[in-house]
Amino acid sequence: MEYKRLGKSGLQVSRLSLGSWLTFGKLVDDKVSESLMHYAYNEGVNFFDNAEIYARGQSETVMGKILKKSNWSRDSYVVSSKVFFGTGGQLPTQKGLNRKHVVEACHQALNRLQVDYLDLYFCHRPDKQTSIEETVWTMHNLIVQGKILYWGTSEWSAQEIMEAHMFAKQNHLIGPVVEQPEYNMFARQKVEVEFDQLYKTVGLGTTIWSPLASGLLSDKYLSKFPKNTRLGVEGLEWLREKNLTEEKINKVRSLDDLAKELGLSLPKMSLAWCLKNEHVSTVILGASKLSQLEENLSSLVELNRLDANVMEKIEAILDNKPEKPTF
C-alpha cells in the first residue's frame, strides 16, 4: 500500500480506502462487511469512510461492531462520518449543518462507531439554511473538544470552501482540510477544474467517491442485465438513470476493449486512472463481494501501465475532458 498526505494536513491516508455506502447495513450481509474490512486492513488500507445517512445509521453501527471486535489499535486506522442528511428524521433539528445537529450527529456517530473520536468529519453537503460561519465555529469547537481531529466538506463548491477558509483564517479557527467529491471517468469537473486553485492556495486534499460510477465501469452492464447488482436495485432507479445511458455504455464498451488489450480488467484500469491524478489523496472503494475488493485493491500496482500513450487513448474514448478557463 502507498500512503499520501491529505492535502497539506499531516494525516497520511492509504491511496485506496474503503467506504460503506449502500453496502454495510444494507445490501451486504454483516459477515461480508467484516471480511471486507479485514481484507482491506490487512492489505494496508487505513481509512474507512462512513456517514450518518448510510443505511440510516446502520452502516455506522455495523462498522462500529467490526472495529470493536477486531480490536485494532486505534492509532492504526482513520474513520470518518458525515453530517447533513440526518438518519431519517424529518424535524428541522434532525438535519443540516446548524450547531445543534452537527454536535448531536457527532455524538451519535461516536456511539454507533464505538470510538472516542472521529478522525475525519465531513459536512456531507452545503447547507443553504445555516451560515458557513456557524458551521466553521462548530467544527473548530469539536476539534478543540477532542471529538474530531480534522474536518472537511463533500460536494461543496470551490467558493463555499474558500469562504469557510477565509472565515477560519480571519478568526484563527481550524478550517477544512479535505473535500469529498465524486470523481470517475464520467465525473471530472470538480476535481480537474473547479478545485484547481484550492490545491495551491489552501492545500486541499480529496477523498474521491464512486470511482467506478457505481459499478458501471466494469463489463457487467455490457450484455444481459446482471442479477444482484447495485444498478438493478429497487429504489435506486435514479442511480440507474444517471449511469446507464446509451452514450456512457458505448464508451464503457470501448474502454473495456482497451483494458483487455492491456491485459487489465476495466475496474482496475478505471481505478488506476483515478489514482494517476496527483490531487486525489485517496480513492474510496466500494465493494459488495470480497472478490471485487481483491481485484480493486490490486489496481495500485498497475499504475505505471497507464503511460502517456494509454492515457491519450482513454481521453480519446471519453471525449469529455473538462476545459480549464483560459483567463
- The residues annotated with a catalytic role in the active site are 54
Does 108 engage in binding with ligand NDP (CB under 6 A)? no
Which phi and psi (to 5°) does residue 148 adopt? -135, 155
Rounded to the nearest whole angstrom, what is the least distance from the CB of residue 172 to ligand NDP in the complex?
A: 29
Number of residues that bind ligand NDP (CB under 6 A): 28
Q: For residues 263-287, b (16+ Cβ closer than 10 Å) or e, as one string?
A: ebbbbbbbbbbbbeeebbbbbbbbb
Q: Work out how close the CB of 202 gets to ligand NDP at its nearest, in angstroms, rounded to a whole number.
A: 19
292 binds ligand NDP (CB under 6 A): yes
Is residue 305 packed enough to be buried (19+ CB in 10 Å), middle (13-18) or exposed (0-12)?
middle
- Helix residue ranges, H only, 262-320: 266-275, 290-297, 308-318
Task: Out of 218, 243, 282, 299, point to the residue binding ligand NDP (CB under 6 A).
Answer: 218
Which 133-192 residues touch ligand NDP, going by CB under 6 A? 154-155, 180
Provide the minimum distance between the beta carbon of 125 and ligand NDP in the complex, in angstroms, as a whole number. Answer: 7
Task: From 64, 101, 107, select the one nearest 86 (Cα to Cα).
Answer: 101
Contacting range for ligand NDP; rule: CB under 6 A; set: 5-13, 61-69, 103-111, 290-298: 290-298
Question: Closest separation between CB of residue 170 and ligand NDP, Å?
Answer: 28
Nearer to ligand NDP among residue 229 and residue 320 (C-beta): 229
Tell whether residue 267 is a contact of ligand NDP (CB under 6 A): yes
The distance of closest approach from Cβ of residue 180 to ligand NDP in the complex, given in angstroms and rounded to an integer, is 4
From CA 281, how far away is CA 138, in angstroms rounded?
A: 25
Q: Is 83:114 a contact under the CB 8 Å cutoff?
A: no
| Piece in contact with ligand NDP (CB under 6 A), picked from 66-74, 93-101, 170-178, 286-294 | 286-294
Site for ligand NDP (CB under 6 A): which residue of 25, 96, 176, 286? 286
Rule CB under 6 A: is residue 15 a binding residue for ligand NDP?
no
Residue 93's alpha-carbon distances to 39, 105, 145, 244, 250, in angstroms, are: 38, 10, 22, 36, 45
Q: Specify the 3-state DSSP secondary structure of 323.
A: coil
Q: Which of residues 183-212 bind ligand NDP (CB under 6 A)?
A: 209-212
From residue 84, alpha-carbon distances to 130, 154, 163, 244 in Å are 11, 10, 18, 28
For ligand NDP, the closer of residues 40 and 213 by Cβ is: 213
- SS3 for 267-283 is HHHHHHHHHCCCCCCEE
With binding defined as CB under 6 A, does residue 284 bind ligand NDP?
yes
Residues 67-86 within binding reach of ligand NDP (CB under 6 A): none
Neighbours of 181 (CB within 10 A): 21
Which positions from 25 to 54 touch ligand NDP by CB under 6 A, shown as an x/- string?
------------------------x-----
Q: For residue 44, give the C-alpha cell.
A: 494496508
Q: Report the residue number, 202 or 217, with the smaller CB distance to ligand NDP.
A: 217
Among 34, 38, 15, 12, residue whose Cα is nearest residue 25: 34
* Residue 213 interacting with ligand NDP (CB under 6 A): yes
Which residues sit at the interface with ligand NDP, rule CB under 6 A?
A: 19-21, 23, 49, 154-155, 180, 209-215, 218, 220, 229-230, 267, 284-288, 292, 295-296
